[in-house]
Copies of this chain bind each other. A is one copy, B any other.
Amino acid sequence: MRYELYYWPSIQGRGEYVRLALEEAGADYADVARSERGMAAMMRMMEQNGGTPPFAPPFLKAGKLVIGQTANILLYLGSRHGLAPNAEAGKLWLHQLQLTITDFVLEIHDTHHPLGPSLYYEDQRAPAKKRTNEFWKQRVPKYLGYFEALVKDNGGFYVTGRRVTYVDLSLFQIVAGLRYAFPRRMKAFERRIPGLRDLHDRVANRPNIKAYLESDRRIAFNEDGIFRHYKELDI
């Protein structure tokens, strides 16, 4: 079965967590909105009446199923591609961790959009600065400290067990993204998360991920996505 991924074509954004899982799994998929007339197809799927229209991208078409919400897509893919434990307890635990990453991703987004997603960054620069300071003082240590402890407790490999899961792929993306958006702050912070630093490298060197990152399927970080580099926020 060829999956169809629907996501904004010019950013990594929330779709990237799904792309990483599909790539690691070596799954056959089309990144629909990046192809000709793909955006129109994506918009049509969201505007359908009746059925199960997604609220927002990303969503994944898998045969007749249309699955929305990043963590929900990963829950689905994880079971099918060996990127999650098989037993219910392990599956729920992994999903719980992904939902915690989802919360963190929204807080990362809000550093540059504290007044809401419908206004431009340029209209909220002062509150963005305040929110970013709080974010690095309080939230980054709390979230990354939590995942660092889990990796450490798991013997320094991945977040759970001995095999890579979709949560490890997402943590790779978090480290890579924070390095892009806040190079100076992140550099100072990284000595506190040696386990996550190693995990980032271990994921980056997996053959399928390495090939993906070097391909043009990997969109470059940019200032329309979740992780944005604004110099004034990276004091």
Q: Which residues of A contact B (CB under 8 A)?
A: 49-50, 52, 54-56, 64-65, 67-69, 71-72, 75-76, 89, 92-93, 95-96, 99-100, 102-103, 106-107, 110, 114-119, 127, 130-131, 134-135, 137-139, 143, 146, 149, 153
Q: How far is the CB of A174 from chain B (nearest CB, A)?
A: 14
Cβ distance A3 to chain B, nearest Cβ, rounded Å: 14
For A71, A92, A106, A110, which residue has the most chain B Cβ atoms within 10 angstroms? A92
Number of copies: 2
Given A103-B106, A106-B106, A146-B55, A116 contacting B96 (CB threshold 8 A): no
- Chain B residues, Cβ within 8 Å of A76: 92
Q: Determine the residue in chain B with the shortest Cβ distance to A132.
A: B116
Residue contact A72 to B92, C-beta cutoff 8 Å: yes
Interchain Cβ contacts under 8 Å between A and B, 15 examples? A49-B153, A56-B100, A65-B89, A71-B99, A72-B92, A107-B116, A110-B110, A110-B114, A114-B115, A114-B131, A115-B130, A115-B131, A115-B134, A116-B131, A116-B135
Q: How far is the CA of A157 from the CA of B197 in the complex (A)?
A: 50
Q: Specify which chain B residues have a CB less than 8 angstroms from the CB of A52 in the assembled complex.
A: 93, 96
Checking B71, B102, B115 against A127 with a beta-carbon cut-off of 8 angstroms, the contacting residue is: B115
The residue from B69, B93, B117, B153 contacting A99, defined by CB atoms under 8 A apart: B69
Are B54 and A96 in contact, CB atoms less than 8 angstroms apart?
Answer: yes
Taken together as a complex, chains A and B put the C-alpha atoms of A146 and B93 apart, in Å, by 30
- B residues in contact with A135, CB < 8 Å: 116
- Docked Cα-Cα span, A71 to B56, in Å, equals 18
Residues of B within 8 A of A110 (CB): 110, 114, 116
In the complex, chain B residues whose CB is within 8 Å of the CB of A143: 55
Q: Contact: A116 with B138, CB < 8 Å? A: yes
Q: Are B96 and A69 in contact (CB under 8 A)?
A: yes
- Min CB distance A175 to B, Å, is 18
